[in-house]
Chains A and B, each alone.
Chain A
Amino acid sequence: MTDASMPTDTPRHGKSIMVADAHTKKRNASEKRFQAYGLAAIGAGVFFLLVLLGAILSNGLSAFQQTFIEVPVYLDAAKLDKNGNRDPEDLKKVSTFGYNPLIQNAILEQVQAAGIDTPLDKASEMKALISASAAAQLRDRVIANPDLVGETVDFRILAASRVDGYLKGRVQREDLARDKNIDAVHLDIVDQMRERGLLAKAFNWEFVFGADASESRPEQAGIGIAMLGSFFMMLVVLALALPIGVAASIYLEEFAPQNWFTDLIEVNISNLAAVPSIVFGILGLSVFIQFAGLPQSAPLVGGLVLTLMTLPTIIISTRAALKAVPPSIRDAALGIGASKMQSVFHHVLPLAMPGILTGTIIGLAQALGETAPLLLIGMVGYIATNAPDGLVEGFMSPNSAMPAQIYEWAKRADPAYYERAWGGIIILLVFLLSMNIIAIILRRRFERRW
């Protein structure tokens, strides 16, 4: 038997081990090269990540700022309350269209009072400056406080999206020649209003907490209601996927006999994890909506579909966590007379809990960012407009979800919605990152290794 490591008496080629020969050099060089490839791969990954983050932040951060105009509006009793009795029911008869002239007048008066030099002198010509949402804002306030009619009230209204875009640099003067929404004369007014402090950018909470808006007023749109939709969907996923997933894994891992049937189930769980999510959407449409008769666009249905999608993730991670608990723990419990069930629930499951929770959170984060199945169950469109009144409505009434809302914004015609889509991505990423960080902390803190 020859042993390669056997010391030889004489150096075979008369070489010292202190001097690297050609072969060793080659091997060392190839190791260096490999390390360089690895570093390059990591470098490329970091570079793309930075480009992506840079693109998201540079496009999206401006969505959190919005241009507002502070303007005192005279709520003309002759127009808003013809009967003069301040009855909310009577006030409701004046639609938002009745409020538009009041706001336009107020803006014109403000422009003239501030001594702004402009050839425009008709109230209706001020329309291009203000958001269409202002009328509804005034009307809601008046209906809530009928006593305001006849007085001059200070309002903080949104500027039109083109004005906002001009302040953010998205709308350029040279692009205006064929834009029917706004023209250079209006931008002159905007410049002067800004100098006099009548119009300014401010942080826009409405973007984070508000409702979706129609195509004609991107300045008003917010992701808040869609966030609620996502929240209710996650409740459904958590309430269904966690108990079902954990129960299935405990049975498969601790109790199930090893036979072809359990093998089949195991193979199928792995297969299920690889099914494209759109397939679950089609399933949800045909089973939950068309067969079971659940309402369309409801977070409940979205949650059920995402549950199906999340289950394999949870089952696989739970089984891994259970497997990681050493058999000695089970044996010790059984040895002092615990039943099989007691050994699982008193000893194995608590030790596996950190792993299970980590898997669950990662599964939820995956479900939170999922869009494709929601397309098919009617959660994309102009939907996220009404805040749910209660728990049941939260599950049942039509709503969207954060990724679906972002997709919807990205589709819309007005370029201002593009910025909002990026802004929505930032919010979604914040959620995903914080969920992943929680998962990491849980794992670091509580996971035990044997």
Chain B
Amino acid sequence: MTLKMTASALAMAAVAATSAAARDNVQVAGSSTVLPYASIVAEAFGENFDFPTPVVESGGSSAGLKRFCEGVGENTIDVANASRAIREKEIKACADNGVTDIIETRIGYDGIVFASQIDGPAFTAFEPADIYNALGAKVLKDGELVDNDYTTWNAFNADLPDAEIMAFIPGTKHGTREVFEEKVLVAGCEATGAMEAMIEGGMSEDDAEDACMSVRADGRSVDIDGDYTETLASIDSNPNGIGVFGLAFYENNTDSLKVATMSGVEPTTETIAAGDYPVSRPLFFYVKKAHIGVIPGLKEYASFFVADEIAGPDGPLAEYGLVSDPELADTQAKIENETTMGEGM
């Protein structure tokens, strides 16, 4: 009995201590694409500063920004990682909850690559049009818009292998999906002429664009809501599968994946930095200004993240696969001056 009493007293003490203990570590959540970079920075930050190592969670850009916008205070996160820019809607949701001053920080660029099993069919070169023909919901066939019924890649492009269409694309909660839709599906939609046909069919331009972004629903295009490891596992069990990955993930798994060129350009940090590779997107993190000075180490973490020795072309992030931002100095100044969104633009 006495043991039990002490045990429950212990729990009580722990509960009582909550109100007293202030949070002393930075909390970060958001995009699973940014997570590896954030964890590398957090680790180096913990090693080089007297602050505790920040906590980095994943969950996707949208989920992270949603938590970011829940309000101001110790029980909300300080930094949201995102593989896309924050949306108007999210800025408004933030403002409604009192999160008004947000510092937007671009850390660099990431390429989105199409890769398949290393021993699988020869998927070595794609055009956006190929991807659209394979995965779009409605395609142009003999001048008419029809539901997509292609089953093999060579049915619409004789240069592609005679293999079943099977693609694993990021789910809608991922920032990667947005880039995939805008830079591949819409581009392919225009290139195949499907978009023009839709507009001629009476759709407004916006509606046509939305229609271009919808993917076929007959099971040949599979949304992956988890991380790239899940996509990789699906590819492993599907010799004909094509997966959408981040460049950094691909570069860490070159022993099992082979990458395809897009519009004739091979994805590398160089081609993305030069802007030649078409499917790339900027990566961001967002800092709550109200937390600077309250949560110890927050500003130091933010400026450490974009320091030349970390995010620069020779830093550990570039080594992992980030394409460093040529305008890094502007970003550094932005954090130094705590310039929020809407200010100094």
In the complex, whether A77 has a CB less than 8 A from a CB of chain B is no
A215 contacts B40, C-beta separation under 8 Å: yes
Q: A296-B75, A396-B21 known; A216 and B316 CB under 8 Å? A: yes
CB distance from B109 to the nearest CB of A (A): 17
B53–chain A nearest beta-carbon distance, Å: 4
The 29 sampled A-B contact pairs (Cβ below 8 Å) are A95-B309, A175-B254, A214-B40, A215-B36, A216-B36, A216-B319, A235-B7, A236-B11, A238-B7, A243-B7, A290-B75, A294-B75, A295-B21, A296-B27, A296-B75, A297-B27, A297-B57, A300-B15, A381-B57, A382-B43, A382-B55, A385-B55, A392-B14, A392-B21, A395-B14, A395-B17, A396-B14, A413-B228, A413-B248
B18 with A293: CB separation less than 8 A: yes
A320 interface residue per 8 A CB criterion: no
A96 CB contact (under 8 Å) in B21, B38, B47: B47
Q: Tell me which residues across on chain B come within 8 A of A414, comparing CB atoms.
A: 252
- In the complex, whether B237 has a CB less than 8 A from a CB of chain A is no
Interface residues of B in 69-106 (CB under 8 A from A): 70, 74-75, 77
Taking Cβ atoms with an 8 Å cutoff, the residues of A that contact B are: 92, 95-97, 132, 135-136, 139-140, 171-172, 175, 177-181, 213-217, 235-236, 238-240, 242-243, 289-290, 293-297, 300, 378, 380-383, 385-386, 391-393, 395-398, 410-415
**B58 CB–A CB distance under 8 Å:** yes
Asked whether A175 and B255 contact (CB < 8 A) given A95-B48, A95-B309, A96-B48, the answer is yes
Q: Chain B residues with Cβ under 8 A from A172's Cβ?
A: 255
Q: Are A297 and B75 in contact (CB under 8 A)?
A: no
Q: What is the distance, in angstroms, from A18's C-beta to the closest C-beta of chain B?
A: 60
Give the complex CA separation of A258 and B21 in angstroms. 46
> Interface centre among A295, A300, A391, A413, by most B CB within 10 Å?
A413
Asked if B10 lies at the interface with its beta carbon under 8 angstroms from chain A, I say yes
**Cα–Cα distance between A383 and B18 once the two chains are bound (Å):** 19
Instruction: Tell me how far the C-beta of A415 lies from the nearest C-beta in chain B, rounded to whole angstroms.
Output: 7
Q: Does B271 contact A (CB under 8 A)?
A: no
**Interface core residue of B36, B77, B227, B255 (most chain A CB under 10 Å):** B255
Alpha-carbon distance between A80 and B303 when the two chains are bound, in angstroms: 23
B337 in contact (CB, < 8 A): no
CB neighbours of B150 from chain A (8 A) = none
Q: State A366–B17 Cα separation when bound (angstroms).
A: 28
> What's the interface size class on B, roughly?
35 or more
B window 17-40: CB within 8 A of A: 17-18, 21, 23, 25, 27, 29, 32, 35-36, 38-40
- CA gap between A414 and B14 in the complex, in Å: 38
Q: Using CB atoms, name the residue of chain A closest to B5.
A: A243
Which listed residue, B32, B36, B46, touches A385 by the CB 8 Å rule? B46
Cβ contact of B4, chosen from A177, A242, A378, cutoff 8 A? A242
| Inter-subunit contact A214/B4 (CB<8 Å) | no
Distance in angstroms from B173 CB to nearest chain A CB is 14
CB distance from B17 to the nearest CB of A (A): 5
Q: Is the CB of B229 within 8 A of A294?
A: no
Q: Pick the contact of B43: A213, A412, A415 (CB < 8 A).
A: A213
A140 CA / B46 CA spacing, docked (Å): 12
Residue B264 lies at the interface, judged by CB distance under 8 Å to chain A:
no
Q: Which residues from chain A contact B46 at a C-beta distance below 8 Å?
A: 385-386
A413 contacts which chain B residues (CB < 8 A)? 36, 228-229, 248-249, 252-253
**B227 and A411 contacting across the interface, CB-CB below 8 Å:** yes
Q: Which residues of A contact B248 (CB under 8 A)?
A: 413
CA distance A24 to B309 in the complex (A): 86
Report chain B residues within 8 Å CB of A293: 18, 75
Contacts of B254 in A (CB 8 A): 175, 177-180
- With A413-B228, A413-B248 already in contact, the answer to whether A385 and B75 are too (CB < 8 A) is no
B25 touches A386 (CB 8 A): yes
Q: Do A236 and B55 touch (CB < 8 A)?
A: no
Shortest CB distance B80–A (Å): 13
- Give Cα distance in the complex from A114 to B115, angstroms: 42
Query: Are the C-beta atoms of B309 and A97 separated by less than 8 Å?
Result: yes
| Residues of chain B contacted by A412 (CB below 8 angstroms) | 36, 229
The answer, yes or no, to whether B326 is at the interface (CB within 8 Å) is no
B32 contacts across to A, CB distance below 8 A: 411
- Interface status of B163 (Cβ within 8 A of chain A): no
13 additional contacts (CB under 8 A) given A96-B44, A135-B47, A215-B40: A171-B255, A179-B254, A215-B320, A242-B7, A243-B7, A296-B77, A297-B57, A378-B57, A382-B35, A386-B46, A386-B53, A397-B52, A411-B58
Inter-chain contacts of A140 with B (CB < 8 A): 47
Complex Cα–Cα for A172 and B319 (A): 21
The residue in A132, A382, A385 that gathers the most chain B C-beta atoms within 10 A of its C-beta is A382
User: Which residues on the A side are within 8 Å of B196 (C-beta)?
Assistant: none
How far is A289 from B29 in the complex, measured between Cα atoms in Å?
16
Bits for B307-345, please: 1 = Cβ < 8 Å to A, else 0.
Answer: 001000000100110000000000000000000000000
Please measure, in the bound complex, the distance between the C-alpha atom of A383 and the C-alpha atom of B29, giving whole angstroms: 11
Q: Take A386-B52, A396-B18, A412-B229 as given contacts and tell me if A139 and B39 are in contact as well, using a CB distance cutoff of 8 Å.
A: no
